[in-house]
Amino acid sequence: MYGLLRELLFTLTSADAHALGIATLEALEAAGPLREALAARLAPPPSLATSRMGLRFPSPVGLAGGFDKNAVAPRALAALGFGFLELGTVTAAPQEPNPPPNLFRLPDDRALVNRLGFPNDGAAAVAARHARTRSDGPMPVPVAFSIGKSRAVPVDVLPAVVDDYLASFRAVRGVADFVVVNVSSPNTKGLRALQGPELARALLQALREESERGERRVPLLLKISPDLAQGELDALVTVVQETRLDGVIAANTTLSRGGLVSRPSVVADIGVGGLSGPPLRGRVLEVLPRLRAALGADATLVAVGGVSDAADVRRCLDAGADLVQLYTSFIYEGPGLPSRLARELAR
């Protein structure tokens, strides 16, 4: 049934289709009885539950950051059968998206390209919205918030960058089960420089120390780029170990355009931006065993990039991941995907 709906949605621009999808989820968010009935029907089988970072995940299949940037529909998304959600990315300062067009489809590759650049209402406003959601009762799944650098903060002024991330962390820590530190989006100028060992160490150490203040330590994961060379990856993993982060999400979108089947002229017309979907699958599966070997059994590894079916989930888990995330396949396969993957995994 979604195939026909997708054909209609794909007649819209990617941005308009996404806005329509979010509006539909917001309506479901407000329709409590309908949402609860849907959640009961689509709940993952109990056999899939897993525990990491002191949290119970009903399923290892979660939603990646970037879909619900402003935390407007978390209960609706959880009702679709996701085992956890990553909301945001949020920044300390509210900001608009990069100039349109900034979101594109590559249907022949079942991929997306975006250069949105962390549009959001600001960490404090988004956290307040989620606090109101939580006031209606506990969330049925763990909820993470992704934090990123505000566009207005220059990346070469490290104290300002650290303060900017700390402001976002402080805003969301009270409503987040864990926090994802995004230093790897290709769509904020200079952001990936924060993956260099010296800058990463300063930022992650400050966040780690902040996470230990207060009554509850908030787990921290680092989201890395798939475009890191092996030496760069090894150096960053060393920083993760030194700063005692809880784990890594591999990986963010890529600047590479290798291996695409879409016409080169179509790809060239789109221009710059982060590519997501099946073209990332090989790189993610290559990186996961190396991360597991380096970080050990206690680290939490989350795979994201090209996960489209239960076989992809199983390959990621076998390669060392504890959890997996979806985004692009959710667009192409529709809202029934998380519950379908859960049923197939259970079988």
Q: For 317-330, what is each residue's pLDDT tens digit?
A: 999 999 999 999 99
**Residue type at position 321:** A
Digit-coded pLDDT (tens) for 101-144: 999 999 999 999 999 999 999 999 999 999 999 999 999 999 99
Rounded to the nearest 5 degrees, what angle is found at the Cα of 206, between the Cα atoms of 124 and 66?
Answer: 45
Query: Which CATH number do you get for residue 58?
Result: 3.20.20.70
User: What pLDDT is stored for residue 31 in this prediction?
Assistant: 98
Structural tokens at position 312: 């992809």
What's the average model confidence in pLDDT over 254-260? 97
The answer to whether residues 58 and 65 touch, using CB atoms and an 8 Å cutoff, is no
pLDDT of residue 111: 98
User: What amino acid positions are annotated as catalytic residues?
Assistant: 185
108 burial (CB, 10 Å; 0-12 / 13-18 / 19+) is: exposed
Mean pLDDT of the 62-68 span = 98
Q: Does position 244 have pLDDT exceeding 90, yes or no? A: yes
Number of domains composing the chain: 1
3-state secondary structure of 96: coil
pLDDT for residue 3 is more than 90: no
pLDDT value at residue 2? 83
Residue predicted with more confidence, 52 or 2: 52
Say yes or no to pLDDT of 1 above 90.
no
Has residue 243 got a pLDDT over 90?
A: yes
> What does the pLDDT read at residue 180?
98
Q: Give me the domain span that covers residue 200.
A: 2-346
Whole-model pTM: value is 0.98
Query: Could you tell me what percent of the chain has a pLDDT over 70?
Result: 100
Count of Cβ atoms closer than 10 Å to residue 59 Cβ: 27
For residue 39, give the nearest of 84, 79, 82, 85 by alpha carbon. 79
Instruction: Give the span between the Cα atoms of 265 and 100, in whole angstroms.
Output: 20
User: What is the per-residue pLDDT across 298-312, written as a single tens digit (0 to 9) for each?
Assistant: 999 999 999 999 999
When pLDDT is averaged across residues 196-204 and rounded to a whole number, the result is 98
CA-CA distance, 308 to 112, in Å (whole number)? 13
CB 251 within 8 A of CB 304: yes
